[in-house]
Homo-oligomer: A and B are copies of this chain.
Amino acid sequence: MDPNVAHRYRYRRPASGMTFIAHLFGILAIMLSLVWLLHYREGFDIDSDNTNRIFNVHPFLMIFGFIFMIGEAMMAYNTVGADRKVQKIVHMLVHFVALILGIVGLHAAFKWHEKRGLTNLYSLHSWIGIGTFSLFCLQWLFGLSMFLLPGASIETRERAAPWHVNGGRALMYMAIVAALTGLMEKATFMGLRHQSEANVINFLGLSILLFGIAVDLSVSLGRFA
């Protein structure tokens, strides 16, 4: 690999305007998901007798716990003002938080299906969601063993870095596709059209998408600036 390229994988420029925009859209998405689930729906509680409240844990944790966290973890090299080793550990740990909250979020969807006697894993949303989460777990283990634990040589790391970076970005977009197909499924299933709840869901979907694009540009433009 060209040593100039390897260099860009080790040192990124500090937080840019695009990183700031990403934070804003991420916070907007979390706020809109709370407006939707607390105001228009019945709030969330994983141990409720009200199955709708069990379900609502799922979108909230996949948006706040999974997508927001993986985006922030990807931007850790822009936002954490510390040396490379600390940035890598933050990058790994925030992804680990996303992994744990993602498991709880997936559990909520399965628990809701079970309580309501619904079948699992028939929709495009569920296929993409499960596929993305499984690949994400493999990517996390791959990143940990390749880039944090000792063992891999510098040359091996430099060959693996473009796959880790570009594959990680593809996984983030997969997570966004999963989220937006989920919102689309829910809105269509509930027969929402021009109600204000439909608009809240649409703006929530747009915020998630724009968060992902801003995270992508924050990382990819950072490497060329």
| Interface residues, chain A, with chain B CB atoms under 8 Å away | 1-2, 4-5, 119, 122-125, 127-128, 131, 162-163, 166-167, 169-170, 173-174, 176-177, 180-181, 183-185, 187-189, 193-194, 198, 201-202, 205-206, 209, 212-213, 216-217, 220-221, 224-225
Contacts and interface: CB of A to CB of B under 8 A. Distances in A.
Given A177-B180, A188-B185, A213 B170 contact: yes
Nearest to A204: B124
Copies of this chain assembled into the complex: 2
Dominant SS at the A interface?
A: helix
Contacts of A169: 216, 220
Nearest to A225: B162
A209 B177 contact: yes
Residue of A119, A131, A205, A209 contacting most chain B CB atoms (<10 Å): A209
Contacts of A180: 124, 128, 177, 180-181
> What 5 pairs across the A-B complex have the smallest Cβ distances?
A188-B188, A162-B224, A181-B184, A124-B205, A184-B184
B1 A201 contact: no
B181 A221 contact: no
